[in-house]
Amino acid sequence: MNVASETEVRGEREKRPEMFFHIVLERNMQLHPRFFGQNLRENLVSKLIKDVEGTISGRHGFVLAVTGIESVGKGLIRDGTPFVTFPVKYRCVVFRPFEGEVLEAVVTRVVQHGLFAEAGPLKIFVSNHCIPDDMEYQTGDMPNYTKSDGSVRIQKDCEVRLKIFGFSIDATEISCVGSIKERFLGLITDPGAVA
Amino acid sequence: MSGEEEENAAELKIGDEFLKAKCLMNCEVSLILEHKYEQLQQVSEDPMNQVSQVIEKSLQYVKRFSRYKNPDAVRQVREYHLSFHRILSRHQFTEFELCVLGNLCLETAKEAVAMVPSLKTKGSAHSNKATENILNDLSLVKRFE
């Protein structure tokens, strides 16, 4: 299967998954014996929450919130150390972009070669090649992209609907590349309408 | 990352776990995150310090872009998805498609088909009408929430 890179060629089987998912993840939690006792499970859960919330997993994107614990397995003592490892299955909300996904974002910066937007913790860059040809960069106090007939202006703090083309995940953030060149993409003037 | 090159929303190659997982709309996520935030507020005075930037930004984002503000409306939309799923199972709208329709708050069937091309393939005239119906109902929920 080849990855379609031309938007026009996208197959009819295309579906756009949403970026927020509620999934079950598993993690091996190590606990020091000082936490054993009546509150073992609570300690385990709070350590899990502290370790995992707000982090990024390569496969699952941002882990936003742990919503519940599915199961806690039997603890195994690690050889040579006093630590005990518990496999914990938990449900959490993850946030992950997908190629081909359409989502809404807030413009944070406009520069000559494109614009930067953010959808929550996700950073997206839209290059000027992916902005409709009839929109031009205007420099000034509030740099913006304005349509040739003046009807549409995209500047900082505007809401835009864009499509993600690619992204890269590293330890601290996920950055994406997007486009507003297609139909029904671009500035959102009020909920439900796209300019 | 080499694994990601194989993935593509267009081909729906997003990994089994995501296909089977439950999709959440922005409004539902905002409820979850706000609940969490309130819990933190009870514990300490300045919860913003405790949550990481990622969570704070996500909360702001879902609040800004959630279409249905009150929990009852959200529940209605989610249940609506389920009942529609049953009634129109022959149309086989997936959870993904309904989530996109709910999230982006689209107005016309044309827009919906542009955003979710798979709707087109499910039998032309049929789906158009069905899509229009869904969009109308979703906007009704919004109006009367």
| For residues B119-138, average pLDDT | 63
Residue B8 lies in a domain: no
A41/A106 same-domain check:
no
Separation CA B100–CA B93 (nearest Å): 11
Number of structural domains (chain B) is 1
A114/A91 same-domain check:
no
Separation CA A138–CA B76 (nearest Å): 44
Separation CA B21–CA B10 (nearest Å): 18
A115/A183 same-domain check:
yes
At B34, is the secondary structure helix, strand, or coil? helix
A137/A168 same-domain check:
yes
Q: At what angle do helices B71-87 and B124-143 cross, to 10 degrees?
A: 160
Separation CA B78–CA B99 (nearest Å): 9
Question: Å from A34 to nearest chain B CA?
Answer: 24
Q: What is the pLDDT of residue B87?
A: 44
Decide if B62 and A120 are in contact by the 8 Å CB cutoff.
Answer: yes
Among A95, A124, A153, the domain-final residue is A95
| Number of neighbouring beta carbons within 10 Å of residue A125 | 16
Which one of A21, A58, A191 has the shortest CB-CB distance to B1?
Answer: A58
Query: Bigger pLDDT: B90 or B28?
Result: B28
Query: Bigger pLDDT: A14 or B28?
Result: B28
pLDDT in tens, B88-121: 444 455 666 666 666 666 667 677 777 766 666 5
In contact, A106 and A159? CB cutoff 8 Å = yes
Phi, psi dihedral angles at B43 (to 5 degrees): -80, -45
Q: Is residue B30 very low, low, confident or very high in pLDDT (cuts 50, 70, 90)?
A: confident
Residue A154 lies in a domain: yes
Residue B10 lies in a domain: no
Residue A130 lies in a domain: yes
Query: Bigger pLDDT: B125 or A10?
Result: B125
**ipTM rounded to 2 decimals:** 0.74
pLDDT in tens, B37-96: 787 777 766 655 666 788 888 888 888 877 666 666 666 666 665 554 444 444 455 666
Q: Is residue B126 very low, low, confident or very high in pLDDT (cuts 50, 70, 90)?
A: very low
Q: What is the pLDDT of residue B144?
A: 57
Q: What is the pLDDT of residue B122?
A: 53
Contact residues on chain B for A95, CB-CB shorter than 8 A: 29, 58
Question: Å from A20 to nearest chain B CA?
Answer: 5
Contact residues on chain B for A17, CB-CB shorter than 8 A: 9, 12, 14, 18-19, 23, 96, 99
CATH of the domain at B104: 1.20.1250.40
A84/A109 same-domain check:
no
Among A95, A123, A147, the domain-final residue is A95
Residue A51 lies in a domain: yes
A72/A111 same-domain check:
no
Number of structural domains (chain A) is 2
Q: Which residue range(s) make up the domain with A57?
A: 20-95
Among A50, A70, A95, the domain-final residue is A95
Q: Which residue range(s) make up the domain with B64?
A: 16-143
| For residues B31-42, average pLDDT | 79
CATH of the domain at A155: 2.40.50.140
**What is the reported pTM?**
0.72
| CA A115 remoteness from chain centre | 18
Contact residues on chain B for A15, CB-CB shorter than 8 A: 9, 12, 94, 96-97, 116, 118
Residue B7 lies in a domain: no
Decide if A119 and B22 are in contact by the 8 Å CB cutoff.
Answer: no
pLDDT tens, residue order, chain A (195 aa): 333 333 323 332 334 455 788 888 899 988 888 888 888 888 888 888 888 888 888 888 888 888 889 898 998 998 898 899 999 999 998 888 888 888 889 999 999 999 999 988 889 999 999 999 989 899 988 999 998 888 888 989 988 999 998 888 888 888 999 999 988 888 887 543 444
Residue A1 lies in a domain: no
Question: Is A23 touching B (CB cutoff 8 A)?
Answer: yes
